[in-house]
Amino acid sequence: MTTPLPLAVTMGDATGIGPEIIVRAFERGALEGAVVIGDAAVLRRAGATMSARLQAPADLAALPPGCLPVLEPPDLPAGLAALPWGRVDARAGAAAARCIEEAVRRVRAGEAAAIVTAPIHKEALAAAGVPFPGHTEMLQDLARPAGGALPPVRMMLANDELRVVLVTIHMALRRAIEAVTFDAVRETLRIAHRAARAWTGALPRIAVAGLNPHAGEGGLFGDEELRIIGPAVRAAQAEGIDARGPFAPDTVFMRARRGEFDLVVAMTHDHGLIPVKYLGVEQGVNVTLGLPFVRTSPDHGTAFDIAGQGRADAASLIAALAAARRLVAGPG
């Protein structure tokens, strides 16, 4: 028998709640078969009020029972465990990026089955000079083949009631509207279709939300549905994709939640994520579609306002761990 590959769990921002929810998830047994990519001292600080046993082993096989393995990437900034809780710091941003890089290296080298990322802070990344606004864009670049083009990726947020895939993500709303093109919508439908088929083995029913109120009302409130979104839906249908719409964005999520559709494609970040997060962040999972490996994360941020107070809820991280395991296993 071969030992299953571990999940690689990145530490996230050292001053946020990421280390704390990792320790809480470990205490609840949700990190069995996983390794944390991060700073052992940061994890120990997060677990100081808990009973977790953390260790940075030279050899995973030699890890004592009941301990969480923490693998420290080389070149982490020094003194991370002494940083104040809940503050933007370039060192924390640099460390978060380094942990992501190491996790990608391991999964691409066949040393990990999937990546689960704890929350990072976009301002800390920027302060560290990291040229990416978030996880999705950074992972996309790290997944780029040597000398090749960026793989097309999309963000999906999901819980037990609703799954939403976004055409555009981290950009100003004015830019996002301009980025809603025929090619972008059609590519999103292709990515969502391929991913959902790989998970379920079945043909997914995809609803497409419009951009404008009432999906433009025949051009009265905007014509993007007529010029861009509708033609992209029809092009996807011609490829055998079960895509429908565009539908009024104020009702389509309700229809999907009631079981009419398997997932919804939304045009902009807040358009798509507000309905999912309104249902509760506790079970929400962020999945990056289109990568050559599985990546999931909680659907919340670093929660600087409660970091270090022992109040953080690990439910969304636990859901992300479970989702990663399901996606690695595939249909069945």
Contact 104, 112 (CB under 8 A): no
Residue 10 pairs in a beta bridge with 37, 117
User: Per-residue pLDDT tens for 112-124?
Assistant: 999 999 999 999 9
Euclidean distance between CA atoms 45 and 82, whole angstroms: 9
User: Which amino acid does the sequence have at 36?
Assistant: V
164 and 118 belong to one structural domain? no
What is the tally of structural domains in the chain? 2
pLDDT attached to residue 69: 86
User: Is there a cis peptide before residue 246, judged by omega within 30 degrees of 0?
Assistant: yes
User: 83 with 147, same domain?
Assistant: yes
220 and 314 fall within a common domain: no
Q: Give yes or no: residues 217 and 298 share one domain.
A: no
Q: Using CA atoms, how far apart are residues 332 and 329, in angstroms rounded to an integer?
A: 8
- At 208, give phi and psi (nearest 5°): -115, 120
Query: Which residue range forms the structural domain that includes residue 45?
Result: 1-153+282-332
My answer on whether 141 and 289 are in the same domain is yes
CATH code of 12's domain: 3.40.718.10
- Which residues in the chain show pLDDT less than 50? 1
CB neighbourhood size of 68 (10 A): 24
| DSSP character at residue 282 | G
| Residues 143 and 290 both lie in one domain | yes
pLDDT tens digits, residue range 32-64?
889 999 999 999 899 875 655 665 665 566 666
Type of residue numbered 132: F
Q: Please tell me whether residues 223 and 322 are part of one structural domain.
A: no
Same structural domain for residues 41 and 145? yes
